[in-house]
Amino acid sequence: MGSPGSMRTRAAAAVAVAGAMTLVVGCSSSDDSATGGGKKDGKVVITMGMYGVMGIKETGLLEQYEKENPNVEIKEEIAGDEQTYYTALQTRLAAGKGLKDIQGIEIGRAKEITETQADKFADFSDVTGTDHFLPWKESQISTGDGKVLGLGTDIGPMAVCYRKDYFEQAGLPTDREEVAKLWEGDWDKYVEVGRTFKKGFKGDKVSYMDAASGLFNAMVYGYPEQYYDEAGELIYAKNPVVKEAWNLAADAADDGLTAKLRQFQPGWDPGLANGTFATAVCPAWMLSHISEKAGEANKGKWDVAKAPKGANWGGSFLGVVEQSPVKEEAKKLVAWLTAPEQQTHIFKEIGNIPSSGEALESDQVKNAKSEYFNDAPIGQIFGAAAQEIPDKQVLGRKDGTIKDTFSQGLVLIEQQGTPRDEAWKTTAERIEKAVG
Amino acid sequence: MATSTTKALAGEEPPGPPRKTGGEGTVRRRGRLLHRLDIKGAPYAFIAPFFVVFAAFSFYPLVYTSWISLHDVELATLDVMEWVAFDNYVDLWNDSRFWNALRNTITIGVISTVPQLMMALGMAHLLNYRMRASLFFRVASLVPYATSVAAAALVFTMIFERDFGMINWALGSVGIDPVNWEADKWPAQAAISTIVIWRWTGYNALLYLAAMQAIPADRYEAASLDGASRWQQFTHVTIPGIRSTIVFTIVLSTIGATQLFGEPLIFGQGPNGITGGADNQYQTLGLLLYEEGWKNYQMGRSATVAWAMFLLLVLAFAVQRLIKRLRSRTS
């Protein structure tokens, strides 16, 4: 045991301990955990966190902004699924680390953000030129004391997408005006048309509608108050609107009018491709999904008709986090991205309906037609539907979660054959767990 | 031999001149101190990396989780904690979802572990024969294990799909009505077990194979001289020979089954996966933990589920030890 040997052991031991320490410390000091971009080599780096197809990257707007502002570099990260995205956002907000300069906020989360995280988002109320939004859109992301935590991207006015060829086979009218007349004014009539469809359609492989949850959402979102009242109290159990929607959706399920699918889940996509259902209640942003999944083979078979009643399902906001090192630049970018011209551009490219009243009024939006949907004048249909959306939209803290829970409750009726009262009870218990 | 090495390593009788006092002595003492540190300290330094990592990623989370489980905390506001003592545990005990998840975890665990280990045993037995391309088969049996859970579960989800899945198509071609694999309880649990079985059978087979190859060949020779058939050799030589490996795989599979998470989550897809089906028909404890924490954002309740799972495992092994001890006492 000479001293060179012990030197080596000692050195090795030191390295081993140091290695272990870096392993532990390394986790908390990597660059990823810093918030936002910053200024690098004279360039302003703005980071963005988004989800799904918000149309901002997909339609080339970020590149355009970089071209017009050569000193700005934008780095975006897009999560596929909003639920995953929001969970990560919550974790990062709690840790105060790893946030992007700009963060997307889905409408179902808006209330939770304004209630619990208001101090972590920058205020937009001092930004000029943002008075072009629909009045209710801005109020959804505002706090009680007048802080505006973000600017709106799209909204989700509704229509009904239907298969023209199936309607013809079932002996129903196929023209979109006439189809809209069949159920004008009342969702009950939409279900009634389904009964006629079922009787008239030869063959049993095609259901009238995709899922009971689609109908339920369309009905509930047609009213100013859904699951919460203005005071923030949970009122879904005594809100007649919710019960009425639940019962009608359950009727549709009981009468075998639905394809028993879960929207946006894998079984739904092949259902679109193989045409296993004739109608789907479709918010504007769903059109791009339908055309993509139903594919070229079904082009021209789908059409869009006015929904029985106006409603708003979905829509997002862009917010800027308070601790962002490039807050002002990020706010400028958000204001630009949500300006009427850009919203119009996104609409033309992928069909997301603008939340800007000014954009909605523009000829480009009004006269837009969808080639895939048999040249349906989607600008007019959804524009008119947007006007029908109640001027006040009361949001609640757990809207997103409650919506998902109700969708599952309807699946209980559709797929498990659970009686509706029992399914309602189960849903109520789950909501209590999720909210309390 | 061992003692002498230890003595030399510990340096108890270092050869050299007797100790002196004075300046020269302090240098020597310092040298001796470093030397002693080296001898006594180095082993600790060498095992330190594991324990530092263990402390950071296992022990600290464990302690913190138990602390959280005594509070009412939401994910968004982790700094706002309300002390509720054991309320979360009481709630969990009274929560039908917990018992449902526990039952599902046990049933899925049984219908995936039992056939899986039996098949692995049979497979290992076959792989143990001298045959052509045995290396190929041994490597091939590990391929499912190397596949990611997500990829495997996604493929199986498509195979088990209700309207356009392969299995229902095959059933339909022989005139059997399609099975609603996801929505019905037992078909769903069977489908999830299939994914687990597919992934882990080869892995366990290789463990068994390794143990089988350690059995001396002369035992088989002696057995065949005594006129034992292949089957008798299997039950009387092979099985006792790999008993400890079998116990090991049972322990591993039990832990794995308790933590079952990825397969049912992806099998159910999206929000439906988190709740283990609309009727919680295949919600495991792992999924319940995830639902509480990352769907309902209730970290306190989520941590409680985690601790309940941990305690269940401890309980399971305590019971197993007890049975073993009782059995050895009676025999």
Tens digit of each residue's pLDDT (9 = 90 or more) over A153-187? 999 999 999 999 999 999 999 999 999 999 999 99
Tokens (6 digits) for A70: 């050569």
% residues pLDDT > 90 (chain B): 61
Any idea what DSSP says for residue B17? P
On chain A, the residues whose CB falls within 8 A of the CB of B92 are none
Place B25 in a pLDDT band, splitting at 50, 70 and 90. low
More confident residue, B42 or B31: B42
Instruction: Say yes or no to pLDDT of A11 above 70.
Output: no
More confident residue, B24 or A221: A221
**For residues B152 and B158, is the Cβ–Cβ distance under 8 A?**
no
Q: Does B177 touch chain A (CB under 8 A)?
A: no
- Whether ipTM tops 0.90, in short, is no
Among chain A residues, the shortest Cα distance to B8 is held by A1
Name the phi and psi angles at A38, rounded to 5: 145, -165
Give the side-chain half-sphere CA count within 13 A for B127.
28
Average pLDDT over residues A314-337: 94
Asked if A262 lies within 8 A of B269 by C-beta distance, the reply is yes
Between positions 199 and 258 of B, the ones with CB within 8 A of A are none
More confident residue, B7 or B29: B29
3-state helix, strand, coil in chain A (%, to 5): 50, 15, 35
Instruction: Say yes or no to pLDDT of A136 above 90.
Output: no
% residues pLDDT > 70 (chain B): 92
- Closest of A199, A196, A207 to residue A258, by C-alpha: A207
Asked whether the CA dihedral B268, B274, B276, B277 is positive or negative, the reply is negative
More confident residue, B14 or A118: A118
**For residues B262 and B118, is the Cβ–Cβ distance under 8 A?**
no
The mean of the pLDDT values for chain A is: 88
Place A15 in a pLDDT band, splitting at 50, 70 and 90. low
On chain A, the residues whose CB falls within 8 A of the CB of B53 are 20, 23-24
Tell me the C-alpha distance between A144 and A138, whole Å. Answer: 12
pLDDT at B197: 95
Between positions 157 and 196 of A, the ones with CB within 8 A of B are none
pLDDT at B192: 96
Average pLDDT over residues A97-119: 92
Place B102 in a pLDDT band, splitting at 50, 70 and 90. very high
Asked if A270 lies within 8 A of B164 by C-beta distance, the reply is yes
Average pLDDT over residues A50-78: 92
pLDDT digit string, tens, across residues A17-38? 555 444 444 444 334 456 788 8
Instruction: Say yes or no to pLDDT of B14 above 90.
Output: no
SS3 for A197?
Answer: helix
Average pLDDT over residues B18-41: 72
pLDDT at A404: 87
Asked whether the CA dihedral A154, A53, A366, A345 is positive or negative, the reply is positive
Between positions 243 and 282 of A, the ones with CB within 8 A of B are 262, 264-267, 270-271, 274, 276
**For residues B98 and B308, is the Cβ–Cβ distance under 8 A?**
yes
Tell me the C-alpha distance between B14 and A122, whole Å. Answer: 71
**For residues B276 and B192, is the Cβ–Cβ distance under 8 A?**
no
pLDDT at B23: 57
The tokens 């979102």 sit on which residue? A221
Residues sharing a CB contact under 8 Å with residue A240, sequence separation 6 or more, in sequence order: none
pLDDT at A27: 42
Among chain A residues, the shortest Cα distance to B161 is held by A267
Residues sharing a CB contact under 8 Å with residue A41, sequence separation 6 or more, in sequence order: none
pLDDT digit string, tens, across residues A345-398? 999 888 889 999 999 999 999 999 999 999 999 999 998 998 888 888 888 988
Q: Does A83 touch chain B (CB under 8 A)?
A: yes
The pTM is what? 0.82
On chain A, the residues whose CB falls within 8 A of the CB of B269 are 262, 265-266
- Residue among B52, B265, B275 with most chain A CBs within 10 A, to mutate: B52
Task: Specify the range with the lowest mean pLDDT, choosing from A296-305, A319-328, B271-280.
Answer: B271-280
Provide the pairing of β-strand A277-283 with A151-163: antiparallel
On chain B, the residues whose CB falls within 8 A of the CB of A83 are 270-271, 295
Place A13 in a pLDDT band, splitting at 50, 70 and 90. low
The mean of the pLDDT values for chain B is: 88
pLDDT digit string, tens, across residues B208-224? 999 999 999 899 899 99
